[in-house]
Structure 1
Amino acid sequence: LKLPEDPGRRHEIIGGEHFVSPSPSMDHQGVHDEIYMRLGIHVRASQLGLLRSGPVDVKASEYDLVVPDIVFVRAGRPGVIKRGGQEMIEPPDLVVEIASPSTRRRDRIQKLAFYARFGVREYWLVDPVARTWETLVLEGGVYRALPPEGTVHRSRVVERFTVDAAEVFAALDALEDVADEVTPGTEAVSENRDEATESAAGEGQAT
């Protein structure tokens, strides 16, 4: 199956069924950037492998092609990405999906089943709206949840990597603070502009 070119939206095929997702929200993007930054610093510092953010196609067959938010492939696995392209033709070691209201069910059901079937060793399912984080590891073809230590999640695939979910979600609070600050500022600019207009009009009448 050939997917349409549609900038700003994500097209995926799971079991031959076509799914379309809208552009990510600011909350989605904020959590994505925080996770990618933390993973990237650790992976590069320890030279653990390849870390990529979407769009990267993970293709198991003509009827199964998904576009995860973040993928990691450990060092020593050549040929996972088709040379000259952007398709992963073998399973990444880690996939991160950041759920949104429109993708929550798909991430938890269809994609979870696909990643298990394809052999993705670890799957992080992060929900910025519900503020939940699940670290799932593949055992015997089935995903099992790794319980966190408080709010700290430890990866089995990315060596020596831990992440505090509470700190990641705190990035959303910072985003909300910025939004709160922008609104009053915008109003102030508007008020100043109105005052300047009135003043100019008054001067014109006086002349």
Structure 2
Amino acid sequence: MKVNSTELQNNFGKYLMLAAQEDIIITRNGTEIAKLTALGDQLGSAVNQIHESVPLYGYGKKATYEEFLQLWQESDERYEYIDGEIYLLASPKTAHQIAVGEIYGSFYNYFQGSNCTPIVAPYDIELRRTPEQINIVQPDIMVICDLEENLDDNDYYKGVPTLIVEVLSKGTRRKDLIKKLDLYMSCGVKEYWIVNPDNKEITVYLFDEQNIQEFTTYKQNEMAQSYLFEKLKIDVQRIFR
């Protein structure tokens, strides 16, 4: 099968899955320039994860921020850009969405009348390790306490959320537990909740000076509690059905 580079870029997930069945010849201005081909179990594993979150420029190849922006602007898919890798985000499963809905509902009620606003994905957050190292993420839930003063002229938020929640899934586990934990900790997020539907646990991290100051894991029949917001508590059993 032949496909031009623009079509491949706009529909990478589809062609990655097709490459498990046949070689994909990539063209630019009518000239063959590359081939996307199966690599045994390695590609098969990536294809199995395409419905969760996989790096599009995997196996050591990094993408520039400009390449990410071009992909983001030309595609209807959802993407994250973390430390030079582009991740395709696809539709989450039912348990994931139930957990997100329950937590967001509790956050919404708690923060009513305060200067903090809970927001649910999809919503792009720009985080910078340095002025040049730009990352774009879409946390499942974020609590923003400086919204009005950090909106740009296009109504995009340019600050750092105070609290972020990520609900794990099979394909995002490594990214959420390692890459995002380090990114959030390094870029000024103060509290990070990792929600695990598989073992029905919630781990709450408190960050300070780019390090983990404290963390607690809450199990079923316990109340998960925020470090920053004294009365923000959620019944763990309620989150998982």
Q: What range describes the TM-score normalised by the shorter chain of this pair?
A: 0.7 to 0.9
Task: Please give the TM-score of this superposition, normalised by the length of structure 2.
Answer: 0.63
- Name the amino acid aligned to 2:236: A
Alignment match, 1:13: 81
Within the candidate set 115, 118, 127, 2:184 is matched to 115
Pairs within 5 Å for 1:160-175: 160-169=231-240, 172=241
1:156 partnered with 2:227: yes
Alignment match, 2:158: 89
Alignment match, 2:108: 40
> Structure 1, residues 130-154: CA drift from partner, whole Å, max 9, x if none?
3121011102311231354962121
Residues in 2 aligned to 1:96 and 1:82: alpha-carbon distance in whole angstroms:
24
Q: 1:81 to 1:146 in 2, by over 3 A?
A: farther
Q: 1:157 to 1:73 in 2, by over 3 A?
A: farther
1:67 partnered with 2:135: no
> Structure 1, residues 33-91: CA drift from partner, whole Å, max 9, x if none?
111111101111x42421111111110246311110111122x66423334333x3221
CA contact (8 A) 1:21 1:102 kept: no
Alignment match, 2:122: 55
- Name the amino acid aligned to 2:159: E
- Name the amino acid aligned to 2:143: F
Name whichever of 148-157 and 18-27 sits farther off: 148-157
Q: Aligned to 2:109, what secondary structure does the other structure show?
A: helix
Alignment match, 1:198: none
CA contact (8 A) 2:150 2:158 kept: yes
1:131 partnered with 2:197: no
* Displaced runs of 4 or more, over 6 A: none
Within the candidate set 170, 179, 183, 1:101 is matched to 170
- Name the amino acid aligned to 1:153: A
Task: Tell me the percent identity.
Answer: 27
1:146 partnered with 2:216: yes
Residues in 1 aligned to 2:195 and 2:126: alpha-carbon distance in whole angstroms:
22
Task: Please give the TM-score of this superposition, normalised by the length of structure 1.
Answer: 0.72
Unaligned runs of 5+ in 1: 173-207
Q: Aligned to 1:129, what secondary structure does the other structure show?
A: coil
Unaligned runs of 5+ in 2: 1-64
Within the candidate set 25, 30, 48, 2:93 is matched to 25
CA contact (8 A) 2:226 2:232 kept: yes
CA contact (8 A) 2:147 2:159 kept: no
Q: Which protein has the bigger helix share?
A: 1
Residues in 1 aligned to 2:75 and 2:100: alpha-carbon distance in whole angstroms:
21
Structure 1 vs Structure 2 CA RMSD: 2.1
- Name the amino acid aligned to 2:99: V
Residues in 2 aligned to 1:141 and 1:132: alpha-carbon distance in whole angstroms:
24
Tell me which of the two structures has the higher relative contact order, counting C-alpha pairs closer than 8 angstroms and 6 or more residues apart: 1
User: Bigger radius of gyration, 1 or 2?
Assistant: 1
Residues in 2 aligned to 1:42 and 1:48: alpha-carbon distance in whole angstroms:
11
